[in-house]
Amino acid sequence: MKILTIRQPWAWLIIHGGKDIENRDWPTRLRGRFLVHAAKGMTRTEWEDAIDTARHCGVSLADLRAGAQFEQLQRGGIIGSVNLIDCVTDHPSRWFFGKYGFVLANPV
């Protein structure tokens, strides 16, 4: 099975927070389920910026407090899996703000 490393809290947001787009600077032809690997690195500033974006994208403060606290986020391991169903250059999702968007579905 393929693995994609994603920095926290973005990885948590894909599995638990409804993040349906992973923004990248490069396209992919990969389709199907892949494992989400949470990177070890995460600065406090990165976390704060990501949480602000999540709030703007509709994730409730209660959900963020329940699982996306800076000290609680698992780092350096597999945290779930998700289906990659498309790679797009435009998408109506609030989560799309990159050059390429990996469209995600069915996180587990």
Tens digits of per-residue pLDDT, 82-101? 999 999 999 999 999 989 99
What are the structural domains of the chain?
A: 2-105 (2.30.130.30)
pTM above 0.85, yes or no: yes
Half-sphere exposure of 54 (CA within 13 A, CB side): 27
Pairwise pLDDT comparison (66 vs 8), residue with the higher score: 8
Query: How far is the C-alpha of 94 from the C-alpha of 107, rounded, in Å?
Result: 18
Overall average pLDDT of the 102-107 stretch: 99
Distances (CA, A) of 13 to 29, 65, 68, 91: 23, 12, 8, 18
Share of the chain above pLDDT 70, in %: 100
Overall average pLDDT of the 48-72 stretch: 92
Confidence of residue 66 (pLDDT cuts 50, 70, 90): confident
Chain-centroid distance of CA 84 in Å reads 12
How many CB atoms lie under 10 A from the CB of residue 68? 20
